[in-house]
Structure 1
Amino acid sequence: MALNSRVTEILSNYESENPGVKANLARILMNGKLGGSGKLVILPVDQGFEHGPTKSFDANPEAYDPHYHFKLAIDAGLSAYAAPLGMIESGAMSYAGSIPLILKMNSSNSLHPKSSSYDQAITASVKDALRLGCSAVGFTIYPGSSNNLNMIEEAREIIAEAKSYGLVVVIWSYPRGGDISKEGETALDIVAYGAHMAALLGANIIKVKLPTNYIERDKTPVINMISERIKYIKKACFAGRRIVVFSGGEAKDPSDLYNEIKEITKGGGDGSIIGRNTFQKNKKDALSMLEKVIGLYKS
């Protein structure tokens, strides 16, 4: 796997990482149809935990089969596939080496009492990631939640252990709970704060939601253009020295998703992590949509 100048430049931003972390980050950056471009499109399938099987997979019953998601990510030429322990275990042998894997190590669920504080349970270990041949681990933090300090401490321990074994770390940073309003969860200043916290924790790849032009707390100027808001988030992540990918969010019209991708590209964002907008469609439509998304990032 010969690295091009773009990937070499990105790896140079991670000055303290050991050769194992850099090698696994290079595998993700060089994989699939966007390999070598510096852009990523990742398939995440953790929605079964978060929303339940019916809400997640009834729209496309084939998606109940864990092998379906491996094949979708591989056939689409994606950068990586992220999922909780059981999903990856169910196809790890059949698809070993076929696509970089990200083990999602903590999850919440919709049966958790709504009156309780936002939190996630640790559902896998770094050793599981090594056993299954993963290139990375993923971990969610909820900045703003009354449990956020414990989540940050958990994340720090997992980050240190994962990196010691040469694994890449992906942090899902979703501010919510506490004094943050529902609208504030995607406010520009709040998303930027959460992204910066993930960078400070040592995340190699940071996942955030697409920010709106709403301002919750800071005296941040209102930014109406999505591409300029993307630039603002990238600036918050060490002046663009960290990879930032944006959530595809809830299922939406493909044209809306394509417009978001165009704005992410214009703003210098590093890619997308798209779940429900892919696997809830039939495979033919999902592959067609992902081909369009990849084409937009290539351009």
Structure 2
Amino acid sequence: MSATGLSSARIEELLGDDAGELLGFDSPAFSSEQLHLPGGDYVDRVLRDSDRSSGVLRNMQWLLDSGRLAGTGHVSILPVDQGIEHSGGASFAPNPMYFDPENIVQLAIEGGCNAVASTLGVLGAVSRRHAHKLPFIVKLNHNELMTYPNSFDQVMFSSVQRAHEMGAAGVGATIYFGSADGRRQLVEVAQAFEEAHRLGMFTVLWCYLRNDAFSGDKDYHLAADLTGQANHLGVTIEADIIKQKLPETNGGFRAVGFGKTHDKVYSDLSSDNPIDLCRYQVINCYLGRIGLINSGGASSGASDLAEAVRTAVINKRAGGMGLISGRKAFQRPFAEGVALLQAIQDVYLSKDVTVA
């Protein structure tokens, strides 16, 4: 039994038929020796020499020193902003207690998370009680789907100044790269991140792809090369953490027929192994100078634990910084949500799950 809640045998059991491919993978296309890997000294070793202010460094260190993963350089973040895009009913009907922001923050605390990310309204409702205890990440923009017909757009719901006044440690935002409004979003978020850094808050970018042209024989919204380029655009506007969906395929540039790529992306920098696909995302985050966190995805029910552990194993072995998982946790009873969040953290605490 490891020192964590999940034994190595239990992790293997949850990985099922993928255990050998994921835990035994030892020949990555791109060596981890060339990466800036997460660690307890990440802020001093990697971020200190950047143009980030002492306030940003302090809040990043607070993030890394919080929760069960404190001191590891890895993060487990609870994001609950789905009530806007997915609707409050669709998100919280399984557990109406989460209509109350207090329970959202309590889930993050009891779950041992490094931070909680949510809307201005949710975090503002309980900020005086909790903002000095747990790092708050205010999500600035959202895609509300009450406007019809729906579009791939993100609208600013709040300001950086308001998040700062609340006592937030960081701000988050989404850009839909590839969408008709993506360039406007890029400008808005770049300006917001610049202000956040000026005020001492770190920045988290939801780097998502949205374009019908990215869907063909496969869903290339999940291609390593296209998501990798989205990451590269995200770090260009100085996101401190990149949130990205776990890649499931590759060859997006070749399939969609526009943009530029290089054959060595597929021959030298990646392979078909899920860890290599995720590592290409890390590569595009300045070789790991900026941390990559992968999203946990929608709740599938009974398979949620296995899916979350699999994503955590891939992210950690690829050189990623952690996981941001919401619906898998808050769409189940409170105690089960806590257990799922801590199972994710156990993967990052396990000495048997190493960087490939």
Residues 90-239 of structure 1: pairs in structure 2 closer than 5 A: 90-114=125-149, 116=151, 118-177=152-211, 179-181=213-215, 183-217=219-253, 218=261, 219=263, 220-221=265-266, 223-239=271-287
Structure 2 counterpart SS, 1:179: helix
**CA-CA distance at 1:184 after TM superposition:** 1.6
Q: Which range is displaced more, 171-180 or 126-135?
A: 171-180
| 1:98 CA drift (Å) | 1.6
| Aligned partners of 1:10 and 1:38 also within 8 Å | no
The answer to whether the 8 A contact 1:211-1:230 is kept is yes
Q: 1:213 Cα deviation (Å)?
A: 1.6
Aligned partners of 1:6 and 1:37 also within 8 Å: no
- Among 99, 102, 125, the alignment partner of 1:64 is 99
Of the structure 1 ranges 260-269 and 35-44, higher mean CA displacement relative to structure 2 is found in 260-269
Within a 5 Å distance, the mapping from 1:39-58 to structure 2 comes to: 39-58=74-93
Code of the aligned partner of 1:267 = A
Residue by residue, what CA displacement relative to the aligned partner does 1:146-205 show, whole Å, maximum 9, x if unpaired?
A: 111111110111111111111101111101126332712111111101111000111011
Q: Is the 8 A contact 1:173 1:194 kept in 2?
A: yes
Question: Deviation of residue 76 (structure 1)?
Answer: 1.3
How many residues matched? Answer: 295
Q: Quick one: structure 1 residues 79 and 149, their matched pair in 2 at CA, closer, same or farther if it must change by over 3 Å?
A: same
Deviations 1:222-276 (A, max 9, x none): 7321111111111111111111100111113111221121111111111011010
2:318 corresponds, among 253, 263, 267, to 267
1:240 maps to which of 261, 270, 288: 288
Larger RCO, structure (CA 8 Å, separation 6 or more): 2
Letter in 1 for 2:163: A
Cα distance in 2 between the residues matched to 1:234 and 1:279: 28
Distance across 2 between alignment mates of 1:251 and 1:48 = 15
What's the CA shift for 1:5?
A: 3.1
- Using the alignment, how far apart are the partners of 1:174 and 1:51 within structure 2? 16
Greater C-alpha radius of gyration: 2
In structure 2, the residue corresponding to 1:244 is in which secondary structure?
A: strand
Q: Give 1:210 shift.
A: 0.6
Identity %: 30
The alpha carbon displacement at 1:10 in A equals 3.8
Give the whole-Å Cα distance in 2 for the aligned partners of 1:204 and 1:290.
23
Q: What's the TM-score once normalised by structure 2's chain length?
A: 0.79
Question: Measured at CA, do residues 157 and 129 of structure 1 come closer, stay the same or move farther in structure 2, by a change above 3 Å?
Answer: same
**Alignment CA distance shift 1:85-1:204 (3 Å):** same
